[in-house]
Amino acid sequence: MKAVIFSEHGGPEVLRYTEVPEPPIGPNEVLVRVRACALNHLDLWIRRGMPGISIPLPHILGSDISGDVAKTGAEVSGVKTGEKVLLLPGISCGHCAQCAAGKDSQCRGYTLFGYMVDGGYAEYVKAPAVNVIPMPPNLSYEEAAAVPLVFLTAWHMLITRADLKPAEEVLVLGAGSGVGSAAIQIAKVTGARVIATAGSDEKLAKAKELGADETILHSRQDIAAEVKRLTNRRGVDVVFEHVGEVTWEKSIRSLAVGGRLVTCGATTGYEGKIDIRYLFTRQLSILGSYMGGKPELLAVLELVARRAVKPVIDKVFPLAQAAEAHRHLESREQFGKVVLRVP
């Protein structure tokens, strides 16, 4: 089969479009003919290499996958050849207390397609049958691939971790990112008032189209000062963080008394300072979040099927141009998801 692989860590140039063997499947697995695979920042981190984490090489990236069922293992039931599907991006043991509670991403054995196992930058990918989910009928393959990771992450952050309520106000950082564009929509579905930030007027206009009530141009305006102005000096109940070092202190300063900061990433750096007195006197909560569980993705897909939320696609590249797609994502000029089409 055709696939994009890398055999050493480095820049986009290490990605090679080449021929590799089709993966054999076990009795409880399914072979999926990939039609689309969305990119995530995680792909960039894995390609570059992360200290202390050993990725099996050569490696196939890609966590967000849609396609057709090509083959099913002997023990698989409930999945049919030819069915249009998307894949739950997280793979877990399926047996531990966390898995049984639907908290897949807290499983000790948790990983993702394209992380410790091969992913969707290929014509075929093998998947545990439990990861296979029927595609919402109103979506293209590219749209279906643009849903799972970012909507699962945003749902887990806002609904499960931060417990966002309808009358509350939320600050969504980085509206142009995949996770930011998902967060605006999920926050609006709950009924919350959304303040979104982005680095250009064009992106802010798109954030408003997605439902943001107010916007902040973070390249020119001070986030915390603008939040105070827009909330009548109160601050927001929830800050949706994934930027990290550059925004951390401003994010904390943007919280109302009793506010919650929820974070799933640190794309600008890992060091965040906090004045502990400010934390306890204002009764703030800092919440970590990582991916989410299958029940949460199924909830999101229900909203997608009802057209209450929609995947936002920035640009589609053919699989063979994966390196170009990585450069595009690294440029941070996108609004929404960058997707590979697999012909």
Cβ proximity to Zn ion, 96 vs 320, nearer residue = 96
At residue 256, what are phi and psi to the nearest 5 degrees? -75, 165
Q: Which amino acid is at 307?
A: R
Whole-number minimum distance, CB 208 to Zn ion, in Å? Answer: 41
Tell me how long the chain is.
343
From CA 85, how far away is CA 113, in angstroms rounded? 15
Stretch that binds Zn ion, among 54-62, 88-96, 112-120, 142-150 (CB under 5 A): 88-96
Give the CA distances from residue 130 to residues 78, 79, 294, in Å, rounded to whole numbers and listed in that order. Answer: 10, 9, 10
Please identify, using beta-carbon distances, which residue of 293 and 311 lies nearer to Zn ion.
Answer: 293
The answer to the question of residue 100 lying near Zn ion (CB under 5 A) is no
Judged by CB, which is closer to Zn ion: 99, or 256?
A: 99
According to the binding rule CB under 5 A, does residue 106 interact with Zn ion? no
* Smallest separation (angstroms) from Zn ion to the CB of 93: 3
Tell me which stretch binds Zn ion (CB under 5 A): 79-87, 93-101, 224-232, 255-263.
Answer: 93-101
Q: Which of residues 245-304 bind Zn ion (CB under 5 A)?
A: none
- Is residue 107 at the binding interface for Zn ion, with CB under 5 A as the rule? yes
Q: Is 93 in the site for Zn ion (CB under 5 A)?
A: yes
CB of 297 vs Zn ion, minimal distance in Å: 16
What is the C-alpha to C-alpha distance for residues 302 and 185, in angstroms, rounded to an integer? 14
Size of the site for Zn ion (CB under 5 A): 5
Please report which helix (H) or strand (E) contains residue 194, including its range. Answer: strand 193-198
Scanning 91-99, 141-149, 235-243, 305-313 for contacts with Zn ion by CB under 5 A, the matching segment is 91-99
For Zn ion, which residue of 92, 153, 177, 263 counts as binding (CB under 5 A)? 92
Cα distances (angstroms) measured from residue 105 to each of 93, 187, 270, 293? 10, 22, 21, 6
State the residue for tokens 């599907």.
Answer: 85
Place of tokens 């509350």: 168
> What are the structure tokens assigned to 240, written together?
């949706």
CB of 128 to Zn ion, least distance (A): 12
Torsion of CA 140, 141, 142, 145, to 10 degrees: 120
Element of type H or E holding 264: none
d(CA 266, CA 203) in angstroms, rounded, equals: 21
Closest by Cα among 88, 90, 89, 72 to 80? 72
For Zn ion, which is the closer residue by CB, 129 or 303? 129
Choose between 92 and 215: whose C-beta lies nearer to Zn ion: 92
99 binds Zn ion (CB under 5 A): yes
| Cα within 13 Å of Cα(49), Cβ side | 13
**At its nearest, how many Å lie between Zn ion and the CB of residue 92?**
4
In the complex with Zn ion, the residue whose CB is nearer, 43 or 104, is 104
Question: Shortest approach of Zn ion to residue 108 CB, angstroms?
Answer: 7
- Of the ranges 21-29, 96-104, 132-140, 164-172, which one interacts with Zn ion (CB under 5 A)? 96-104
Footprint on this chain of Zn ion (rule: CB under 5 A): 92-93, 96, 99, 107
